[in-house]
Amino acid sequence: MSEDRPVFPIYLRYTNGRSYFKILSPTSMVEWQVVGRTIAMHPFQARTYPDRVMIDDLINNTHNNTERITEQELNNWLGGF
């Protein structure tokens, strides 16, 4: 039995539109977060098991708070700031 493996990068956003993500691997991602009227970029490298679970939860929408987007949608959003 083969298990589906995600193809990276994966582009996501929180459903509230306040954070966007580029998941580079099961252990690496970049988050762009709205802070006031600007965007803060947060590169993130999972170093612990809970960090890896957090990235996995984002990918699998475990908490029903993310949606997949395209690279173009991310670029359009970033271009608006």
Q: Where are the domains of the chain?
A: 10-79
Q: Is the pTM of this model over 0.95?
A: no
Residues with pLDDT less than 70, the chain = 1-3
pLDDT in the model for residue 60: 97
pLDDT value at residue 1: 47
Alpha-helix residue ranges (DSSP H) falling in 1-81: 49-60, 71-79
Q: 55: Cβ–Cβ under 8 A, 6 or more apart, which residues?
A: 23, 26, 27, 29, 44, 46
Output the pLDDT for position 4. 78
The Cβ of residue 3 has, within 10 Å, a number of other Cβ atoms equal to 4
Mean pLDDT of the chain: 95
How far apart (Å, rounded) are the C-alpha atoms in residues 61 and 58?
Answer: 5
Q: What is the pLDDT of residue 81?
A: 78
Q: Strand (E) positions, the chain?
A: 10-14, 19-25, 28-35, 38-45, 66-69
- Give pLDDT, residue 64: 98
